[in-house]
Structure 1
Amino acid sequence: MNKKFYQLESQKQMDIINAGIEYFARFEYKKASTEDIAKSAGISKSLLFYYFKNKETYFAFLYNYAEELIVSKVFRIDLSNKTDFFEELEIVIENKCIFFAENPYLIDFLAKVRNSDQQFVQNIINLDTVNLAEDTIKKYFSNIELKKFKEDIKPEQIIEMLILLLDGYLSNRLKLNEKVELDDIMGKYKRWAKVLKQSVYKEEFL
């Protein structure tokens, strides 16, 4: 990405970011027109590719931006008084659903990303899933009581599993052309978490 993008006024940066997220949320990667995106952002297509080398670079930038934005907003809550992994995770998921409700294009964009058949997109996701799970544990779940977990069970594994379950849910919704409902996500998380807790916690902590 061209560093000159960050020299733009903040509002123009957001115009370019928001236009991309909206169009990639509404259309598949292949069908999203960079011509239309640029027009929506109030710039030319050539200028868009001046700031971003190509469509792939722009898309990857938007994905990373979206993930970083979610982390910065969702994890601003204070979890220092919580020590149970699943209690903390439920608070985080609830906060995430509230954030998505306020930013509807983001969840559609990420759903499209997760369901993309583009190899470069899948490479980004596969790496991000592992890194996200590890970083989340280190930064936001450092105070959890690890003694509750069965031997050889790591919290990172649970987060990775929940991410994969959510990916499957989003993929199925998109294939059926059904809207992603945040209340439904929360309900499914609680059911998944209940099953996982039974599987990974020692009996005395259930």
Structure 2
Amino acid sequence: MNEKFFALPEEKQRRIVNAAMEVFAKNEYKRASTDDIAARAGISKGLLFHYFGSKKELYFYLYRYVEQMVAEQVTDKKFAEITDFFEMMAHGAEKKLKLVAESPYLMEFTVRLCSSRDEGLAPELDARLQQTLDSAANYFKNIDFSRFRPGVDPMELLRMLTWMTLGYLEELRRRGLPVEVDQVMRDYQRWSEMFRSMAYKEEYL
């Protein structure tokens, strides 16, 4: 990526990022138009490609941008004090949902990204998604895994809860319903308690 993008005023960077996220959120990757992105950002298409060498480069920049934004939101003071796996998952879910509520196209972009089957993105996208899941282990360095029953894989639970949440949000998107953080968290807590009862030793229930 051209370093000149980072030399732009922050307001202009945000305008370009928001425009790209909106277009990629509303369209499958191959149908997302760089002409539309440039027009929404208020710049020429040539300048867009001056900052980002290709459409694919812009797409993966957005991936990293969202990943960093979520990480910064989740890893607050409370995060460092949590030792319970399910409490950590709920904390992360609440923080991410607040981001979704504040950023109208973040959820749609993320859902499309995670469900993309575009041949122009695979296998690079699949590899990056797997890296994201694998790196999530770093978030659990303070977690007490001795609470789990023998044979239970916490990372498998992480994947299941993540995909359930994404599917839930995708259903809201398809039905044109708003993301109401309190309601989603009530549903999430219900799922979490179900998994807790199956995964934790009796003395931790």
Tell me the TM-score normalized by structure 2.
Answer: 0.84
Structure 2: tracts of 5 or more residues without a match: none
Secondary structure of the residue aligned to 1:80 is helix
C-alpha offsets along residues 131-165 of structure 1, whole Å, 9 cap, x if unaligned? Answer: 33332332x32111111012233332221221222
| Deviation for aligned residue 1:173 | 4.5
Structure 1: tracts of 5 or more residues without a match: none
Which AA in structure 1 matches 2:19?
A
**2:14 pairs with 1:5:** no
CA contact (8 A) 1:100 1:106 kept: yes
Equivalent position of 1:190 in the other structure: 189
Q: How many residues align?
A: 204
Q: Which segment drifts farther, 68-77 or 125-134? A: 125-134
Equivalent position of 1:179 in the other structure: 177
Counterparts of 1:122 and 1:153, CA distance in 2: 31
C-alpha offsets along residues 99-146 of structure 1, whole Å, 9 cap, x if unaligned? Answer: 2212222112212223333134464553344333332332x3211111
Percent of aligned pairs sharing the same letter: 35
Which AA in structure 1 matches 2:177?
K
Counterparts of 2:171 and 2:62, CA distance in 1: 23
Equivalent position of 1:155 in the other structure: 154
Equivalent position of 1:51 in the other structure: 51
C-alpha offsets along residues 26-60 of structure 1, whole Å, 9 cap, x if unaligned? Answer: 33333332112112212111111122222122111
Counterparts of 2:27 and 2:177, CA distance in 1: 14
| Deviation for aligned residue 1:20 | 0.6
Q: What pairs up with 1:19-58 in 2 under 5 angstroms?
A: 19-58=19-58
RMSD between aligned residues? 2.4
- Structure 1 runs of 4+ off > 6 angstroms? none
CA contact (8 A) 2:26 2:108 kept: yes
